[in-house]
Amino acid sequence: MATRARIGVLHPDGSVTSIYSHWDGYPSVVGNILAENYSSEDLASQLVRMGGVFALEGTIEESIFYHRHRDEDLQIAESFNQMAFVQLARGCGAEWAYLWEDGRWRTYRIGV
């Protein structure tokens, strides 16, 4: 069963660019992958520019993206602030959200 998540990057103007993550959204899986492999603003931004991800892996090349691997529309969302980002996560059924902010990943427990 999928554990959905939302992955976003906070910009200096307070807006957030984010993507949907379908598989293994728990902190022990997606959270660890982000912390271990995408821990710079450049890497976090590169990840988000790829669009919605079905299965996040240690590199962008290894990850399965809806747009690249499943020929689906590019799925990238813009939110006007962090609260809207959390609401967007709730709206897609995410249980977890991860936001690159101030040089680190912040984890939000959204709900079941």
pLDDT digits (tens, 9 = 90+) for 11-26: 999 999 999 999 999 9
Are 15 and 78 spatial neighbours (Cβ–Cβ below 8 Å)? Answer: yes
Report the number of distinct structural domains present in the chain. 1
Strands of 16-84 (E only): list them. Answer: 16-21, 53-55, 64-65, 77-79
Segment 31-47, tens digit of pLDDT: 999 999 999 999 999 99
pLDDT given for residue 34 in this prediction: 98
The pTM (predicted TM-score) of the whole model is 0.92
Q: Report the alpha-carbon distance of residue 65 to residue 107 in Å, rounded.
A: 22
Out of 27-31, 50-54, 64-68, pick the least confident.
64-68
Range of the domain at 94: 5-109
Q: Is the pLDDT assigned to residue 1 strictly greater than 60? A: no
Mean of pLDDT over the chain:
92
